[in-house]
């Protein structure tokens, strides 16, 4: 695995945002999704580090970054990304899941961004994204049942095919053992610490509901990525964005699911598509859809 440097920036409200830095070249920021941190995209970053200077921030409330704060919302997330862009000079952004929602909204307010890639943003289109499980999740977190809460979230979102097939009691028991025995390295955040942050990702999902049309003025090229094994509501979001973004390119990756860019997914497949997009000559202002196998 490639070596990396560590750094921090200060967001507009004073919150510290920590990040890992890989490679050299044009700056590329990778914005992770729910129950994840920058550490979960190390394979993707290492593979892209031959062409780009890749930054893996821990979004606020996770790892080396500060807390969510009392006024958390999409504006805070955009400010965090804006601080990192200003400090690093990066002009390329790749967002995954809720991190893709952050990247999409940030592209409207950060002129320095030249190209944006999004992997399966859970953008609600007429209540398409399931979030009705959140009250149960919050109750389980409140009483310390983090394994049960993780199962509630993953079964609710249907992003993990295995979780749909196995019974809750089995998943909760196995997960509880895993949480008790995990020993992450000193520079990584534990899964147990990441599970409660899903509450805030749902807050972002709900805040972004039915806002696709607000991005119709976005002038930068946008790559819309998704896998064939992901839930239908993620394809709904990608289709909606493809219909309104003036410079959208959609690529469907055969056999991949929602974890595609993560270390336990197919990060090298995603990395190649990102490399092609971020290094390609400028394209005409029209949508081009392709399917990669």
What are the tens digits of pLDDT across the range 268-279?
Answer: 999 999 999 999
In the predicted model, residues of the chain with pLDDT beneath 70 are 1, 282-293
pLDDT recorded at residue 185: 87
Which two tokens mark 174? 């196995």
Domains delineated in the chain? 5-128+203-292 (3.40.50.1820), 134-198 (no CATH)
Q: What are phi and psi of 64, to 5 degrees?
A: -85, 5
Q: What are the φ and ψ backbone dihedral angles of 96, each rounded to 5 degrees?
A: -115, 130
Contacts of 154 (CB under 8 A, 6+ apart): 160, 163
pLDDT at 290: 42
For the chain, helix, strand, coil in percent to 5 are 45, 15, 40
Q: What is the largest CA-CA distance in the chain?
A: 54
Query: Which among 285, 288, 215, 279 is positioned nearest to 252, based on CA atoms?
Result: 288
pLDDT tens string 167-190 = 999 999 999 999 999 988 888 999
């Amino acid at each position: 695995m490639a070596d990396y440097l560590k750094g921090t920036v200060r967001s507009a409200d004073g919150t510290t945002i920590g990040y890992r830095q890989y490679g050299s070249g044009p700056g590329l920021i990778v914005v992770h999704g729910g129950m994840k941190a920058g550490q979960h995209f190390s394979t993707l970053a290492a593979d892209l580090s031959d062409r780009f200077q890749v930054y893996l921030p821990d979004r606020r409330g996770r790892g080396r970054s500060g807390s969510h704060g009392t006024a958390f919302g999409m504006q805070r997330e955009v400010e965090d990304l804006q601080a990192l862009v200003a400090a690093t000079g990066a002009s390329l952004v790749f967002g995954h899941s809720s991190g893709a929602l952050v990247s999409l909204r940030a592209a409207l307010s950060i002129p320095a961004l030249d190209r944006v890639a999004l992997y399966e943003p859970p953008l609600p289109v007429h209540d398409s994204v399931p979030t009705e499980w959140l009250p149960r999740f919050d109750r389980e977190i409140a009483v310390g049942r983090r394994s049960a809460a993780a199962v509630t979230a993953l079964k609710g979102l249907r992003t993990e095919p295995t979780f749909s097939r196995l019974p809750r009691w089995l998943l909760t028991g196995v997960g509880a053992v895993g949480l008790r025995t995990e020993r992450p390295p000193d520079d990584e955040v534990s899964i147990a610490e990441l599970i409660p942050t899903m509450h805030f990702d749902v807050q972002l999902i709900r805040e972004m509901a039915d806002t696709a049309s607000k991005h119709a003025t976005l002038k930068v090229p946008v790559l819309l990525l998704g896998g064939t094994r992901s839930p239908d509501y993620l394809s709904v979001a990608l289709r909606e964005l493809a219909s309104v973004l003036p410079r959208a390119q959609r690529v469907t990756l055969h056999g991949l699911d929602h974890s595609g860019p993560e270390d336990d997914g197919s990060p090298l497949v995603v990395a190649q598509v990102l490399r092609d997009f971020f290094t390609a000559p400028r394209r005409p202002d029209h949508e081009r859809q392709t399917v990669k196998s």
